[in-house]
Amino acid sequence: MRIYTLAKKLGIDSKELMEKLKELNFPVKSHMSSVDDDTAEIIRHEVEDLKRKEIERNVIEVDFPISVKDLAVKLGKKPSEILKVLMSKGKFVTINNALDEDTASGVAYFYKTTLKKKAKYEDKVFKTDSSKMIKRAPVVTLMGHIDHGKTSILDYIRRSKIADKETGGITQHIGAYRIESPKGGITFIDTPGHEAFTAMRARGANATDIVVLVVAADEGVKPQTVEAIDHAKATNAPIIVAINKIDKSNADIDMVKQGLSRYELVPEDWGGKTVVVGVSAKTGKGIDELLDMIILQAEIMELKASYEQPAVGVVIEARLSRGRGPVIAALVQQGVLKKGDVCVSNVFWGKIKALHNDRGKTVDKAYPSYPVEVIGLNGLPSPGDRIFVVPNEKKAKEIVSRRKEEEKVKTVSSAHVRLVDLHKKIEEDKLKQLKLILKADVGGTLEAVEESLRKFSSDEIKINFIHKGVGLINYSDVLLAEVSDAVIAGFKVNIEPQAKEYARKKGIEVRVYHIVYELINDVKSALEGLFEPQIKRIFVGRARVKEVFKLSKAGVIAGCAVEKGKIMRAKPCDLIRDNEIVTKSTITSLKRFKDDVREVGEGMECGIGIDYGDIKPGDYIDVFLEEKIERKL
C-alpha cells in the first residue's frame, strides 16, 4: 500500500504521516513509497495510538454550551477557522452561535484537544457527603390499576393518622403528606399512579423510596398493575403489595397472589420475598400493618440524609396562585430548606419568602423527607425538577442563564438509543443490553414475537424486555422508554397521539410493524450493525462539466455549467458518465469566479470540487438532498 493511500485511510495528510513515521522509526522516502499490508496495519495501529495520546495530552476545561467565539479563544484559533471546521462537517453557524458538547468536542478533536466539562455547581450539591448522614423517613408512592383504591387508601391514612391529632383536622393538599406512626414517620406522595411517578423520574429526580402496589382483591392483577410493576422495577424501588377491598364478599386473595406470582412477586407466605398485606380502605383493616411493613422496609434500606449540606429537593407540583405567585410543592431530600434561602429550580430562581407544611402552617425550615410549599420563585418548574439552594442571588442568576443557553442548543436525537446506532454503541462497549418495550394486539402474538427476539441475545448483548403488554402504545410506555433508555416496538398496534407527540419531542424511537418478520429482521440487523435508515433522495440539480483543472492545493476542480435546478455545496452528488454513475460523492467546494458560494442557480457557470479526482469533460454532476425516513410498514 502506498503511503498516500494509507494517509487517506487514516484521515491525515501524507506529509503528517511521514513525520509521524519518522517519530515511530519507520522512515520512508516519499509518499509514493509502498509498504506491505502487515506493516501498514502496524503503522495504522501506532499512528492511531499516537493520535490518541496527543489528544489526551491536550485537555482544556470549558462550560457547555460554548459559543464559537469562546471556543476559538480556548483553542487559540481564529473564529473563522472554527467556522471552516464546522462547515466541513456540514454545520453552518455564526460566531455567536452556541455549540453543544458533541459538536464542540468534534471541533476540538480536529485540533487534537479534548474538552472537559467544567464541574457545575449542581454536580457538587447533588453529591452527598455520606459521612454526615442521619436517618430519614421513607417516601412512598402508591401505584396500581385504576379504581383499585389508591386514592381511598391515601385518604384513609391521612384522615386516620393526621386528622385525629390536629385541631380541625384540616390538611392542605401540597402533593405529599407526612404521617408520624408510633414506629416512625412516613411521607406519602399524593399523586398516585405510575405515570406521575415516571414523569418525575424522566426529569431526573427519583423521589420515591418504596412503591406500594395496590391490587383489588375482587379483580386481581390488571394491565395497569403490570405497567406499575414494570415502572417500579425500572427504578429498583422495592415493592410492597397491598391487596385492597378485602371487606368485599367476592374478595379472592389467592387469585391475586397467583396473579402476582406470574410477575416475579411471589408472596412471603408462598415461599417468595414479596411482602403482601391485605387491607381495606373502607374499614381500615390492615392499614396499620401496611404502615408497619413500610417502616420495616425503610429500616432495611437504611435511608439517610445529610442535614448539613445546601438543601436539595424535588418538585412535586407547581401552580400559579393569585396573589402569591408561583407556589411550588417540593420534597426536601438533602439539607435543611430555610426561609430566606436563595434557590434555583429549572430556569427559575428566587429568595424563599415563605414555607408552609402539609397542614397549611407557616414554618421556618423543612428537613429531609418533609414535603413543603415554597413561595418566592419567579416561575413554575415541572414535577421532577430539582430545587436547590445556592449561596447568593448572583450564583442563582448565573446558573439560570447557563441553563437557558443549554436549553437553546439541546438536541434530542442523540440522547436516546436508536436502532441505527445500536451496533456502534455495542462495539464501543457503551451498551450491554438492548432494552425493549414490546406491545402487541393480542397476547399470543406478544409471546411469539418475544420468543423469536430472545434468540438474538448473545454474549455481546442481551435483549431486555422491560415491559410487555397488549394494547395501544401509550404515554406511560413512552415515559418508561425515556427513563430506561428503551426502544419501543409495536406489533399491529397504534400509538396514542399524546404518546406519539411526546416520543417525537424526546427523540424516543417507536416502531410499529404489521409483519413479524420485519420486526425481527430490524432488530437482527440493528444488532449486527446492518441497519440503515431509508434515505429519500430528492434531485435538486444537474451541472455539465466543461473543463477540468488540476490545482495543487485544492485538488481537482470541474468548471461546469448548471443545466437544471441548482447546485448546492455540502450536498451529496453523483458523478455521471455515459449514463452511468461513476461515483457517489459530496460537493466539497463550490465557487462562482473566486468566491465560495453556497449554491449556484440554473444557467450559471461555477467551479465544483468533489471528493473524487477522476472527472472528465462531458461528465454530469447531479446533486441531491437526502432525507432520512423512518422505515414504516
Residue 247 interacts with ligand GDP (CB under 6 A)?
Answer: yes
Rounded least distance, CB 255 to ligand GDP, Å: 16
Q: Which is nearer to ligand GDP, 156 or 531 (CB)?
A: 156
Q: Least CB distance from residue 208 to ligand GDP, whole Å?
A: 17
CB of 196 to ligand GDP, least distance (A): 12
Alpha helices in 262-286 (DSSP H): none
- In whole angstroms, the minimum distance from the beta carbon of 393 to ligand GDP comes to 42
Among residues 43, 62, 71, 149, the one that binds ligand GDP under rule CB under 6 A: 149
* Shortest reach from residue 249's CB to ligand GDP, in Å: 9
| 248 lines the binding site for ligand GDP (CB under 6 A) | yes
- Going by their DSSP bridges, the two strands 348-351 and 386-390 should be labelled as unpaired
To the nearest whole angstrom, how small is the minimum distance from the Cβ of residue 257 to ligand GDP?
A: 17
Distances (CA, A) of 543 to 275, 393, 564: 74, 60, 7
State the cell numbers at 613: 479526482
Q: What is the 3 state secondary structure string of 122-157?
A: HHHHHCCCHHHEEECCCEEEEEECCCCCHHHHHHHH
Q: How far apart are CA 178 and CA 139, in angstroms?
A: 9
- Per-residue CA distances from 41 to 5, 6, 38, 145, 492 (Å): 13, 9, 5, 60, 49
The reply on whether position 159 binds ligand GDP by CB under 6 A is no
Residue among 493, 557, 533 nearest 627 (CA): 533
Q: Are strands 139-144 and 210-216 parallel, antiparallel or unpaired?
A: parallel
Burial 490-515 (b: 16+ CB within 10 A, else e): bbebebbeebeebbeebebbbbbbee
| 594-599 contact pairs (CB < 8 A, 24+) | 596/569, 597/569, 598/92, 598/568, 598/569, 599/566, 599/567, 599/568, 599/569
Cβ nearer to ligand GDP, comparing 46 with 247: 247
Whichever of 215 and 493 has its CB closer to ligand GDP, that residue is 215
Supply the minimum distance, in Å, between the C-beta of residue 280 and ligand GDP: 4
Nearest approach in angstroms of CB 281 to ligand GDP is: 4
From 91-99, 197-205, 239-247, 306-314, span contacting ligand GDP (CB under 6 A)? 239-247
Q: What's the CA gap between 217 and 55, in Å, rounded?
A: 63
Contact call for residue 150 and ligand GDP (CB under 6 A)? yes
DSSP characters for 193-215? SHHHHHHHHHTT----SEEEEEE
147, 299, 447, 630: which one binds ligand GDP (CB under 6 A) = 147
CB of 225 to ligand GDP, least distance (A): 11
Q: Contacting ligand GDP (CB under 6 A), which of 152, 206, 494, 585?
A: 152
Among 33, 114, 151, 235, binds ligand GDP (CB under 6 A): 151
Q: Show contacts with ligand GDP in window 278-297 (CB under 6 A).
A: 280-282
- Closest contact distance (angstroms) between CB of 150 and ligand GDP is 4
Q: Are strands 433-440 and 462-470 parallel, antiparallel or unpaired?
A: parallel
**Is the Cα dihedral 126, 130, 136, 139 positive or negative?**
positive
Site residue total, ligand GDP (CB under 6 A) = 16
DSSP 10-46: HTS-HHHHHHHHHHTT---S-TT-B--HHHHHHHHHH
Q: State yes or no: residue 160 binds ligand GDP (CB under 6 A).
A: no
**Contact window for ligand GDP (CB under 6 A) among 2-10, 92-100, 119-127, 241-249:** 241-249
Between 153 and 495, CB nearer to ligand GDP: 153
CB of 209 to ligand GDP, least distance (A): 21
Complex with ligand GDP: residue 158 or 435, whichever CB lies closer:
158
Q: Which is nearer to ligand GDP, 151 or 457 (CB)?
A: 151
Pick the piece of the chain touching ligand GDP (CB under 6 A) from 146-154, 162-170, 485-493, 583-591: 146-154
Residue ranges of E strands in 484-633: 487-491, 510-513, 534-551, 555-568, 572-577, 580-592, 595-596, 599-601, 605-610, 620-629
In the bound state with ligand GDP, the residue whose beta carbon lies nearer, of 150 and 201, is 150
With contacts defined by CB under 6 A, name the span among 59-67, 242-250, 266-274, 472-480 that binds ligand GDP.
242-250
Q: How far is the CB of 143 from ligand GDP (least distance, A)?
A: 9
CB of 210 to ligand GDP, least distance (A): 18
Task: Determine if residue 262 is left, alpha or beta; phi over 0 gives left, psi from -120 to 50 gives alpha, anything else beta.
Answer: alpha
Minimum CB distance to ligand GDP, residue 181 (Å): 20
Binding mask 184-223 for ligand GDP (x = CB under 6 A): --------x-------------------------------
Q: In angstroms, rounded to a whole number, what is the distance separating the alpha carbons of residues 15 and 10?
A: 12
What are phi and psi for residue 304, nearest 5 degrees?
-135, 160
Of 274-282, 494-502, 549-557, 581-589, which part binds ligand GDP (CB under 6 A)? 274-282
Q: Which of 245, 257, 356, 467 binds ligand GDP (CB under 6 A)?
A: 245
Cell triple for residue 295? 417502616
In terms of CB distance, is 281 or 453 closer to ligand GDP? 281
CA 431 to chain centre: 14
- CB count in 10 Å sphere of residue 281: 24
- Select 233 or 282, whichever has its Cβ closest to ligand GDP: 282
- Report the alpha-carbon distance of residue 151 to residue 172 in Å, rounded: 16
Q: Which is nearer to ligand GDP, 20 or 245 (CB)?
A: 245
In the complex with ligand GDP, the residue whose CB is nearer, 193 or 368, is 193
Q: E strands, 405-533, where?
A: 433-440, 462-470, 487-491, 510-513
Assigned C-alpha cell, 155: 385518604
Provide the binding-site residues for ligand GDP, judged by CB under 6 A: 144, 146-152, 192, 244-245, 247-248, 280-282
